[in-house]
Structure 1
Amino acid sequence: MPAAPATRRASAPGRRSARRSERRRRQARRRRLTVTVLCSLALLGGTAFVVLHGGNGQDDGGATSQARPIPPLGGSRAADPSTAPTTASPSPSPSPSPSPSPSATQVKERGKGSFTAATSNGSAVGHGTVRRYKVEVEDGIGIDPQAAAAQVQAILGDRRSWTTDGKDGFKLVSDGIYDFTVRIASPDTTDKICGAGGLDTKGEVNCDVGKQVMVNSKRWLTGSPQFSGSLDDYRALIVNHEVGHRIGHGHEGCPGKGKLAPAMMQQIYGLNGCLPNAWPYTADGTYISGPAVP
């Protein structure tokens, strides 16, 4: 009988030791689980990187195309939409006359593959090298060639566009000799024409290939999820950006939070704190610039 207490005293340290061993085993299991989860996330992250950054690395303009995924509205816009200007420029001058703006449900993924040229001609605008251009619209996509040509002409003739540099001019023509064509086409046809030049537009974006500025009708009719300005201003951005490549301008980045985004910035992929803007120049002739980017 006297030995019983000693047995009880000896069993208490044993139980404590067993509990410590069990805690160590649980901690080891948690550490192994954490490592497994982190490794899995790393693998998934690597896969996402391949998906988002795959392809030929080309983007729009200057014999390149916009081929990266387009983020959703507000996905990377740092500027407060309630304080951002609804126009793409601080200038009081009006935007080009609007043309009918069908809803996104009216975007036709595939047209007839043939094009109709606008029959209108315009006077030369600007100085220096005057480039002659035509405007063509794919048949069967519900966009009027004459209205499209009038809008392109108004954009390139605007005092905030490229003629302000004093070195470049433009003239709308319907036939004869021309330097380039602005073609508005369905996503399917845009992909085919851009693809023939080795560019991947993924049914979403524009490209500049050969003598053609290819405008994806989806962008012409719906704008960009990253651009809070009007549809007419976004059309001005498309034209100014692509024609900017034509006359030798490369891509530019955001110059700083709260400042206007350059027209040569790929605004469809996010504004990085800049405000949406469609024009290369302000109304007073100041070039809206940013740091050069690939």
Structure 2
Amino acid sequence: MLVHRPTGLALTAVATALLLAACDPGGSDSAAKTSKIEQHGNGESKAGQDDNGKPRVVQHGNGEFDAAQASGKVYGNGSKIRRYAILVEQGTGISSKETAREIEQILAAKRGWTADGIDAFQLVSQKPYDFVIDIASPDTADRICAEGGLDTNGEVNCDVGHKVVVNLKRWLTGSPQFPGSISEYRALIINHEVGHRIGHHHEECPGPGKPAPAMMQQIYGLDGCKANAWPYDPDGNYLGGPPSKETKAVE
């Protein structure tokens, strides 16, 4: 992936970076460590809340990941079946299994990428897989993304090597630019990053009042579009826009 003028976000130091960076999955010890699928898990607790009742975001995790012991059927009629696994950093308070099922529902949705008639998706709990989706603390996400030359500044997500890296802060708190529910914003995260994974690039707002493309970097502003998490509408029409003329960062 899926990597999308921030208001209310500490992104003042985000550097222009590579949009999609190739990364040898075995190219570094740290990358291998974080991408390894463990055959055990202890991340089944719920994320807590801070004193203000907001989700508690662990800023610095231990860099160890638990694989979701969950698998499922193939969703979509496309001939390109993409197998993926879900890894959650230990100590984040996120249930790896519940997260896997939530992501599975997003990728199986009729308004998702299966509507292209080309791609299909299957959740797996072990190799072989085509890519993994990491839910990582901001510091860990920064480290993994930096291995592909990407500066996420503790705030955003990225697609690097064989990984989709989801920043825990975004997963738990959403974005001030997105007025919908947290579940809808999570759908945007997955659809955007997996969109990169299957070959889509950033797009811009197609016009005032129209749905923002899932491949638009909506975290930086909507430019008159309406927030939208899905690449297709209920009738199977692609909700796209013109190619982006600039790269703000990653999301």
Q: 1:257 aligns with which of 182, 198, 208?
A: 208
Note if 1:150 corresponds to 2:101: yes
Greater relative contact order, per chain length (Cα 8 Å cut-off, separation 6+)? 2
Which blocks of at least 5 consecutive residues in structure 1 are unaligned? 1-50, 65-98
**Aligned pairs for 1:46-85 within 5 A:** 55-59=15-19, 62-63=20-21
1:235 is aligned to 2:186: yes
- Secondary structure of 2:186's counterpart equals helix
In the TM superposition, residue 53 of structure 1 has moved relative to its aligned partner by 7.7
TM-superposed deviation, 1:58? 3.8
Q: Structure 2 unaligned runs (5+)? A: 1-10, 23-45, 247-251
Following superposition, the deviation at residue 56 of structure 1 comes to 3.5
**Counterpart pick for 2:70 among 107, 120, 124:** 120
2:87 counterpart of 1:136: yes
In structure 2, the residue matched to 1:193 is 144
Provide the rounded CA distance (Å) in 2 between the counterparts of 1:279 and 1:105: 25
Report Cα offsets for 1:156-198 as digits up to 9, x if no partner: 0000000001000110000020000000000010011111221
Q: Distance in 2 between matches of 1:109 and 1:242?
A: 21
Output the CA distance in 2 between the equivalents of 1:100 and 1:146.
14
Q: What SS does the corresponding residue of 1:285 show, helix, strand or coil?
A: coil
Decide whether aligned partners of structure 1 residues 221 and 258 sit closer, same or farther in structure 2, where only a CA change above 3 A counts.
Answer: same
Aligned CA distance change for structure 1 residues 209 and 193 (closer, same or farther; 3 Å): same
Q: Identity of counterpart residues, as a percentage?
A: 55
Task: Report the AA paired with residue 222 of structure 1.
Answer: T
With over 3 angstroms needed to count, the CA separation of the structure-2 counterparts of 1:288 and 1:147, relative to structure 1, is: same
Q: Which amino acid aligns with 2:113?
A: W
Q: Tell me if structure 2 keeps the 8 A contact 1:63–1:207.
A: no
Q: CA RMSD in A?
A: 1.9
1:101, distance to aligned residue in structure 2 (A): 8.5
TM-score (norm. length: structure 1): 0.67
Give the C-alpha shift of residue 111 in structure 1.
Answer: 1.2
User: CA 1:53–1:184 in structure 2 vs 1: closer, same or farther (change >3 Å)?
Assistant: closer
Secondary structure of 1:264's aligned partner: coil
Q: How far, CA to CA, are the matches of 1:284 and 1:167 in structure 2?
A: 17
C-alpha deviation, 1:266, in angstroms: 0.3
Find the counterpart in structure 1 of residue 135 from structure 2. 184
Q: 1:187 to 1:269 in 2, by over 3 A?
A: same
Higher helix share: 1
Could you say which structure has the larger radius of gyration?
A: 1
- Give the equivalent residue in structure 1 for 2:4: none
Residues paired across the two proteins, number: 208
| Closer/same/farther in 2, CA of residues 219 and 53 from structure 1, 3 Å limit | closer
Contact 1:256/1:274 (CA < 8 Å) preserved in 2?
yes
2:156 matches 1:202: no
Residues of 1 paired with 2:191 and 2:79: CA distance? 18
Aligned to 2:84, the other structure's residue is in SS state strand
Which of 242, 245, 249 pairs up with 2:196?
A: 245
